């Protein structure tokens, strides 16, 4: 789909995707970019979905980071994770446009399935305190490799924080910091390679506003719906969508080759 000739359709897609994603985030606290990109890939190419997601993802996580108790401590304590994440995202984000829609869709789908598995089966491995720097560097690099190509690096971040067994508030603060810091190199890569185009700015702003509205509605619904059932339905949706994306990618790849 071409943005310039289908502006109304793109606006509707972005509004719908980020409204639903905002509601999801408000109800269960996770899944805003994952939900939005998954929905958008039903209507637009994966690379266009990554570009349209860039501004809302950045705005949402800056807002989350602004509520952190001590940002300086976050930088000090998680600098190795942040450094490896930024370096690897900066490298891989320059290749997202080159590897094409089918590979991006495949990487994103695999990351979504990992996200589902993490929330369904849990992750009980606990690190030794003296191995913290090693895991920061390793999982930060993994997050960067996935994040630059598919704009989703929350899975390695979540794995690391579960291994570290942090408290809920710290989990929110650290994940907000690490996802926000990753938005800087991914923005550089996507802008430089044309994944994010200037005419996407208005749609990104629209997505940010709609996501906030959806989030506020989701917060109000939080105590009126069964959050566990809601989350399970969301994970089923993610699973079906990811499997569909994998099949589509493999079929398209076979056709092209």
Phi, psi of 32 (to 5 degrees): -65, -60
Token look-up 């690190």 returns 127
pLDDT above 90 as % of the chain:
42
Contacts made by residues 161-166, CB under 8 angstroms, sequence distance 24+: 162/118, 162/122, 162/123, 162/124, 162/125, 163/123, 163/125, 163/126, 163/127, 163/135, 164/127, 164/132, 164/135, 165/126
CA pair distance 148, 104, nearest whole angstrom: 10
The pLDDT tens digits for 162-209 are 888 888 788 888 988 998 999 999 999 999 999 999 999 999 999 999
DSSP one-letter code for 43: T
- For 132, counting Cβ atoms within 10 Å of its Cβ (0-12 exposed, 13-18 middle, 19+ buried), the class is middle
The pLDDT tens digits for 93-122 are 999 888 888 888 888 899 889 888 887 887
Tokens encoding 26: 């408000």
């Amino acid at each position: 789909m071409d943005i310039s000739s289908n502006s109304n359709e793109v606006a509707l897609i972005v509004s719908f995707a980020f409204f639903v994603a905002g509601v999801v985030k408000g109800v269960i606290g996770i899944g805003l970019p994952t939900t939005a990109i998954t929905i958008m890939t039903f209507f637009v190419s994966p690379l266009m979905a990554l570009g349209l997601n860039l501004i809302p993802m950045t705005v949402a996580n800056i807002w989350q980071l602004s509520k952190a108790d001590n940002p300086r401590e976050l930088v000090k304590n998680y600098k190795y994770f942040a450094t490896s994440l930024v370096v690897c995202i900066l490298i891989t984000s320059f290749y997202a446009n080159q590897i094409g829609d089918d590979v991006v869709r495949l990487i994103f789908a695999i990351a979504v399935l990992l996200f589902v598995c993490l929330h369904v089966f849990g992750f009980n491995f606990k690190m030794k305190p003296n191995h913290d720097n090693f895991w920061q560097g390793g999982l930060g690099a993994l997050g960067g490799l996935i994040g630059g190509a598919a704009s989703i690096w929350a899975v390695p971040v979540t794995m690391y924080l579960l291994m570290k067994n942090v408290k809920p508030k710290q989990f929110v603060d650290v994940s907000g910091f690490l996802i926000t810091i990753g938005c800087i190199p991914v923005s550089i890569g996507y802008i430089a390679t044309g994944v994010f185009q200037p005419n996407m700015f208005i749609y990104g702003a629209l997505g940010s506003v709609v996501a906030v509205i959806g989030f506020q509605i989701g917060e109000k619904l939080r105590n009126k719906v069964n959050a566990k059932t809601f989350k399970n339905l969301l994970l089923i949706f993610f699973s079906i969508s990811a499997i569909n994306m994998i099949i589509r990618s493999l079929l398209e790849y076979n056709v092209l080759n």
